[in-house]
Amino acid sequence: MLPTGGKLEQARKARDPRFDGRFFIGVRTTGIYCRPVCPVKMPREENVTFFDSAAAAIEAGYRPCLRCRPESAPGIPVWRGSSSTVTRALRLINDGALDQGSGAMLCDRLGVTTRHLAELFANHLGASAKTVARTRRLQFAKKLIDETSLTMTEIALSSGYGSVRGFNDHFVQTYSRSPGSLRKARSASDGSVELKISFREPYDFQSLLEFYRIRAIPGVENVSVDNAGKSYERSFVLDGKSGHFSVSQSGNQLVCAVQGESTGSLMRIMRKVRSMFDVDAVPEEINSVLCEDRIMRGLVKQRPGLRLPGAFDEFEIAVRAIVGQQVSVKGATTVMGRIADQYGTETEFGRVFPTPEILADLDPASLPMPSKRARAIKLLAVAVADGELGFDMDEQAFYEQVIAIAGIGPWTAQYICLRALSNPDSFLHGDLVIRKVAEKILGVSSEKELINRAEAWRPWRGYAGMHLWRSSAD
C-alpha cells in the first residue's frame, strides 16, 4: 500500500497517462481497483487507497475494474530498484516458475528460504509471490477473453492454469462471475491470435525497427520500415511448437499477431515480445536522470522515446555478441545468416536459429570466423545446453561465468547482459563506437573517464549507451 495524497493524488485527479500502470487505485466504497486513467466518476479522496501493483490490490481484497481493465495497463519493469532477489524472482515468475512448480522450488532456485522471500515480497511489492503469479495468470486470461476468440480451455492452458476448473474457480473468486459471462460475441478463430500491448509515450518504435533491420538474420527475421508497412516479424519454435509472429504499431499500442500451433505458449511469447520492444520502460524516470547531464540532455531531447532492444531468443543474442567481436554490424549479420542456414531448423513458418544443443555438437572449424571465436560459441552452447549457464541466473553470477569462457571478454559479456538479460544499467564502456562518440561530444578521452562520467547515469546507463550509439548513426 502506498501513501495517499501528494503526487499520486494529483496524478489520479488529472488522470495522468504517465502514471498508468505505475500505481493502482482501490476504491473502498466499491471494493474495486482501477488504473489512474479510469474514465468512471472520480471517487472522493477519502475513499481511495493507492497500491504499488495489481497483485497488492488483489491481496488487499479488491477486484479489477471491468471498465478500465487493469490487465491492459502498461507494465512496470522488474528492474525498478527492488532487491536483486526480488528482481530475479519476478523474472522467474514471468517465465512461469509458479505455474507448475511450487514456492519451495522457486526459493531453491533463488537460494533463499521461503520466509526470507515472503518478507522481501511483502516489503517491496506488498503482495506474496503466489499472489503475483496468480494475478499474472488472471490478467493474461482476461486479456485473451477480451481480445481473442480462443476457447476457454485454450485460454486456461495459455494462461498457465493447470486445469479449466482451477481457471474458472479463480475467475469467479475474483470477478464474482464466470469467464464466459464477460466475453462478447466473436467469430471463430482462424488459427491466429492478435494481442495489443500498451506502452508509455514517448515511444520510438522507428528506432527499434532500424536497430533490428540491420541486424535481422536472413530467413529467420524480417523488418519492414517503409511507408507501406512498418513491422518486425520472425519464425520460432517454443515448447516443441513452431510459429510466427509480427509486431507493428497502432496508436499508443503495439499489435502482436501470432500464428501457429503455439497457443499454449502465448504467455511466454508475449513476455519475450514485451522484453524485445521494451514496452514496460518508464521514460519519465529514465529521461529525468539522463537529462541531469547537460550534453546527454540534448541527445534525449532528440529521441525522448528511445528504448532498449531486447531479445526473443537469448541464446541467439549471446551468439550474436561473440560473432560481432571486431567486425562490422553488416558482417556479423551475414555470419549469423550462414550459421542459421547451416545449423538452423526449417519450419513451415520459416527458418529458426539453432538451439544450444545443436551448436554444442558443431565442429568450430565449420564456422566462417576466427577459430578462437568459433570455439567460444561452442563452449557457450555446451554451457547452456548442460544447464551450467542460464539466462535466469543472478546477473553477477551470469556475468562471471560468461566472462570465464575462453574468447569472451567484457564487451561481449556486457552486450549479452544488455540485450539478453535486458539490464538497463549495462554499459558498454569499451565499445569503440561509444568511445569515439563520447570523445567527440562529451570530451572524455579515456575509458576510465567515460566510466566515471557514466556513474551519474545510473541506473539507466544502457539507455545512455543507446543514445550515444544512435548519435553515431545520425
Q: For residue 62, is it left (φ>0), alpha (ψ between -120 and 50) or beta?
A: beta
* Secondary structure of 177-206 as H, E, C letters: CCHHHHCCCCCCCCCEEEEEEECCCCCCHH
Q: What is the grid cell recorded at 155?
A: 485460454
Q: What is the DSSP letter of 3?
A: P
Q: What is the grid cell recorded at 10?
A: 494529483
| Contact (Cβ atoms closer than 8 angstroms) between residue 381 and residue 360 | yes
CA atoms of 276 and 279, how far apart (whole Å) = 8
CA atoms of 425 and 79, how far apart (whole Å) = 9
CA-closest candidate to residue 215, choices 386, 367, 72, 329: 329
- CB count in 10 Å sphere of residue 1: 13
The catalytic position among 34, 65, 256, 417 is 34
Long-range contacts for 78-86 (Cβ within 8 Å, ≥24 apart)? 79/422, 79/423, 79/424, 79/425, 79/459, 81/459, 82/124, 82/125, 83/120, 83/124, 84/394, 84/395, 84/396, 85/110, 85/112, 85/117, 85/120, 86/120, 86/121, 86/124, 86/125
On the question of a cis peptide bond just before residue 77, with omega within 30 degrees of 0, the verdict is no
Q: What share of the chain is helix, strand, coil (3-state, %, to 5)?
A: 50, 15, 35
The catalytic position among 52, 278, 280, 431 is 431
Number of residues in the chain: 474
Q: Starting from the edge strand earliest in sequence, which strands make up the sheet with 24-27, in order? A: 48-51, 24-27, 32-34, 63-64
Long-range contacts for 59-63 (Cβ within 8 Å, ≥24 apart)? 59/126, 59/127, 59/128, 59/131, 60/1, 60/26, 61/31, 62/26, 62/27, 62/31, 62/32, 62/33, 63/31, 63/32, 63/33, 63/174, 63/175, 63/176
Helical axes 114-124 vs 129-147, angle rounded to 10°:
60
CA atoms of 282 and 19, how far apart (whole Å) = 9
Is-catalytic flag, 34?
Answer: yes
Active site residues: 34, 431
